[in-house]
Amino acid sequence: MRILLLDLEGTLHTREGLIPGALEAVAELRRDFDAVRFMTNTDSKSDPELLLSLAACGLRLAPGEVFSPVAAAAEALTATAGAVALVVAPASVRRQLAERVPVSDAPDEATHVVVGDCRDWLSYEVLDRAFAALTAGGELLALQRGRYFLAGGRRRLDTGTVVAALEYAAGVTARVVGKPAPEFLRLAVRSAGAELDESDIYVVGDDPTTDIAMGNAVGATTVQVGTGKGRQPAPASRACRPTHRVASIADVPGLLQTI
């Protein structure tokens, strides 16, 4: 089975709108592959909010074909008996998690601390609660651990900086549930009714440290687009080096038909 895993932000759209040719490319890729799944590390929105914002920029996707770190965190938490989550993320993300697992702000009740986007309301009080839960033995789950994201052409601090602060203070190491975790990729592949070992996997994205690293970790064919973070200097690490590079998503159907 040929399965294509496509990144969203930086690959199909930016915060300024759709990347030229993205809709046509997606339509063509849907014809060429047995299954197409969309994988994002967006941690500032719940899945329903994400689908609405994508539809608003012209990208209409079905709930079952989009994979977010919020859904991955829900999977990880429900796999642990008795899990209670202290959530450091937007209210909508908290609500989505609460549909699957108990959530609590009490550090002595929490078995897990889930960290996502919190730039609009983060405080030392919130950090201290998370820190208390971690020092009491809670596990740190990071929706993602990006260092920065791009908005309006500027780099801004991303969730990874908060994750790193909590790791440093509590002396723990976070488990990342979003990209580049191979388990996240496996979740998307299984949704297509396939197993990783029996499939040809192609990963397309703009971020070498997440999209490309995740694909490389499972032996997928990886394609880096030159939009979004693909405009930034490439990291030296071999783990982040793509199989192919193209200028933008518009070039991906042509490339994947030739290999």
- The minimum distance between CB 224 and Mg ion, in angstroms, equals 10
Based on CB atoms, which residue is closest to Mg ion, 10 or 160? Answer: 10
Q: What is the largest CA-CA distance in the chain?
A: 56
Task: Select the residue whose beta carbon is closest to Mg ion and give its number.
Answer: 10
Residues 6+ apart with CB under 8 A from 146: 41, 158, 159, 160, 207, 209, 210
Name beta bridge partners: 18.
13
Structure tokens at 172: 């723990």
Based on CB atoms, which residue is closest to Mg ion, 7 or 117? Answer: 7
- The minimum distance between CB 121 and Mg ion, in angstroms, equals 25
Q: Could you tell me the CA-to-CA distances from 220 to 26, 93, 202, 204, 211 in Å, in that order?
A: 19, 30, 6, 10, 11
Q: Which residue, 106, 115, 165, is CA-closest to 139?
A: 115
Coil, helix or strand at residue 151: strand
Name residues contacting Mg ion, limited to 187-206 (CB under 5 A). Answer: 206
Among 4, 5, 6, 9, binds Mg ion (CB under 5 A): 9
**For residues 172-186, b (16+ Cβ closer than 10 Å) or e, as one string?**
bebebbbbbbbebbe
- The minimum distance between CB 28 and Mg ion, in angstroms, equals 20
The number of residues that bind Mg ion (CB under 5 A) is: 5
d(CA 30, CA 228): 22
| Segment interacting with Mg ion (CB under 5 A) among 2-10, 76-84, 119-127, 180-188 | 2-10
Q: Which residue, 74, 58, 72, 76, is CA-closest to 8?
A: 58
| Segment interacting with Mg ion (CB under 5 A) among 4-12, 44-52, 63-71, 194-202 | 4-12
Name residues contacting Mg ion, limited to 60-99 (CB under 5 A). Answer: none
- The minimum distance between CB 41 and Mg ion, in angstroms, equals 7
Contact pattern for Mg ion over residues 108 through 147, marking x by CB under 5 A: ----------------------------------------
d(CA 12, CA 10): 6
Considering only CA atoms, give the Rg of the chain. Answer: 18
- The minimum distance between CB 206 and Mg ion, in angstroms, equals 4
- The minimum distance between CB 125 and Mg ion, in angstroms, equals 32
Residue 7 sits in the site that holds Mg ion (CB under 5 A) = yes
Residues at the interface with Mg ion (CB under 5 A):
7, 9-10, 206-207
